[in-house]
Structure formats: C-alpha cells, structure tokens
Amino acid sequence: MITETAFLGTQRISDADVYAFISHTLNDIGISAHLKGYNFLRVCVNLKRVNPNYKSKEMFRIAAEKFGTNENNVNSGIHHALKTAWESGKIGNLNSRFGVDYFRQGKQMSNFKFISVLADLISVYYAVN
C-alpha cells in the first residue's frame, strides 16, 4: 500500500510531490499524459520507489486494478509509452536531469528495467536534494 508520505534520508516528501516529479520527468522525455501508459508508469514507478522488492507482475496487477483493466493492457500501455519516448529522441533528457548515462538512443530498456532505474534515480534525487 502506498503511504501518503514517505521519508527519504531526512526529508519528508508527500506522494503528491513524487507524482508531480514523476509526471514532469515523463513529460521531459516525450511521454504525454494522453497515452494510457503514462498513468500506468506513474503508478508503477511510485510503487517501485516505495517498495523496491516489487516484481513487474505485482506492479502491473496493482496498476490494472487501479485503472480497471488487466495486466496485459498495463504492460502494452507502458511499452507503447516507452517506445514513444525512445522514438522522440528525448530519452537522453534523463541523463542530464539525473547526471547519469543509462539512457542511450537505440538501446531501449525493458519496461521493468526502466521502471526500476527511474524509481531508483528518483529515490536518490530526493535523498540528496
């Protein structure tokens, strides 16, 4: 279950702040809110951030229940959203945003790996800032 607030380092942050940060990050890489995968990604990234032990099947099931769909639609929606980001060429914006070199044009990650890496980067960002 996602809590209303979380503690990262010594900083207390609300889910609303994290969701806003995730939304801004997704928009930065070319995933717009009208894509189904956008909301699925927001939920899955936050779930993974809160509980790093979640597996993709668990996250997709929770997102599916939240949006009244099934796990396959969640997986497909996320895949389409990430494909859009890679094709837009804006995926590299994550490298400059987080000071990393994980995201290279032409090397698309799996849905789960992208969610895991983004959740880790967001956790580190909030722990440091």
Decide if 73 is inside a domain.
yes
- Structural domain total, the chain: 1
The pLDDT of 29-45, averaged and rounded, is 94
Decide if 17 is inside a domain.
no
pLDDT of residue 73: 97
Decide if 85 is inside a domain.
yes
Whether the predicted model's global pTM rises above the 0.85 cut: no
> Domain range for residue 54?
36-128
Decide if 103 is inside a domain.
yes
Instruction: Single out the residue of 77, 60, 124 nearest to residue 97, CA to CA.
Output: 124
Where residue 89 sits, what CATH number does that domain have?
1.10.10.10
Decide if 29 is inside a domain.
no
Cα angle 24, 63, 90; round to 5:
30
Decide if 71 is inside a domain.
yes
Decide if 7 is inside a domain.
no
For residue 105, pLDDT beyond 70: no
